[in-house]
Amino acid sequence: MATKLSVNINKIATIRNARGGNTPDLIKAAIDIERFGGQGITVHPRPDERHIRYADVYELKKVVKTEFNIEGNPTEQKFIDLVLQVKPEQVTLVPDSMGQITSDHGWDTVKHKDYLKNIISEFKKAGIRTSIFVDPIVKMVEGAKETGTDRIELYTEEYARYYSTKREQVIEPFTEAATVAQKLGLGINAGHDLSLENLKFFKENVPGLLEVSIGHALISDALYFGLENTVQMYLRN
């Protein structure tokens, strides 16, 4: 079973917002990414709307034909309301703080089990598949199962950081976490700093990987290779 590529378009919105107009056109970019072969569109609206705006999410819902994945921290009622109104195919819950530049850790699924269980139940009642961001720690994966989530998203920043120096060692906890997740009946996604350099090895060593969400590296590569070519390169990787 091939791993799906969901393209995170936050960085396209960042470039647009820098000038205050509509260049580049975020909606057109999403349509084009799907036309080029992308199998999903991911957005991560934050409370300050520094890249993806809440209004963008409503507009994207009208045009995305593949899988629409909305990431965010459900501690904000505004985020919960957005997800329930838009009803994407998937919501990915991430424990970001208010001013955080980017995601940097997964949920403590043991400590926050009851909270996650309640919010996941609300999303699932609305027919939305849920995924929660976790570090590759067996205890956290087992805790995720207790929340009722459909999937986990393995946080891959540490893998990416050490890929060039000790890939064989750093992949081990991801392989183990994925193996446990499969046994528990959890779907497996992954994301954060995955790139053309490190994606293939990750996919080869993480069993049951259903989907990767890639944004920063892919959009950066597109500056050199072009967006269509870059999407195709990641699909072949």
Buried b (16+ CB within 10 A) or exposed e, 187-211: bbbbbbbbbbebbeebbebbeebeb
List the one residue out of 145, 140, 130 whose CA is nearest residue 174: 140
SS3 content of the chain, % helix, strand, coil (to 5): 50, 15, 35
**Rounded mean pLDDT of 133-149?**
97
Distances (CA, A) of 101 to 1, 10, 26, 37, 52: 34, 12, 20, 29, 13
Q: How many Å is the maximal CA-CA distance in the chain?
A: 48
Residue pLDDT, tens place only, 34-85 = 999 999 999 999 988 999 999 999 999 999 999 999 999 998 899 999 999 9
Q: What's the rounded Cα separation, in Å, for the pair 218 and 233?
A: 10
**Rounded mean pLDDT of 97-109?**
65
For residue 69 the two structure tokens come to: 């994945």
87 pLDDT more than 60: yes
* Residue numbers annotated as active site: 44, 71, 192
List the one residue out of 16, 18, 41 whose CA is nearest residue 30: 41
Q: Which residues constitute the domain of residue 15?
A: 4-236
153 pLDDT more than 80: yes
Per the prediction, the chain carries an average pLDDT of 95
CA angle 191, 215, 117 (to 5 degrees): 40
232 pLDDT more than 70: yes
Specify whether the CB–CB gap between 108 and 140 falls below 8 A.
Answer: yes
* Phi, psi at 38, each rounded to 5°: -60, 140
List the one residue out of 132, 232, 112, 108 whose CA is nearest residue 181: 132
Please report which confidence band the pLDDT of residue 101 belongs to, taking 50, 70 and 90 as the band edges: very low
Residue 99 neighbours by CB distance under 10 Å: 9
Q: What is the pLDDT of residue 105?
A: 72
For residue 220 the two structure tokens come to: 């950066």
* Phi, psi at 36, each rounded to 5°: -80, -5
**Rounded mean pLDDT of 216-225?**
98
Residue 77 burial class via C-beta count within 10 angstroms: exposed 0-12, middle 13-18, buried 19 and up:
exposed
Residue 32: give its domain's CATH number.
3.20.20.70
Residue 216 neighbours by CB distance under 10 Å: 16
DSSP state of 194: -
Domain count, the chain: 1
Q: What is the pLDDT of residue 45?
A: 94
154 pLDDT more than 70: yes
pTM score of the predicted model: 0.94
Q: What is the pLDDT of residue 76?
A: 85
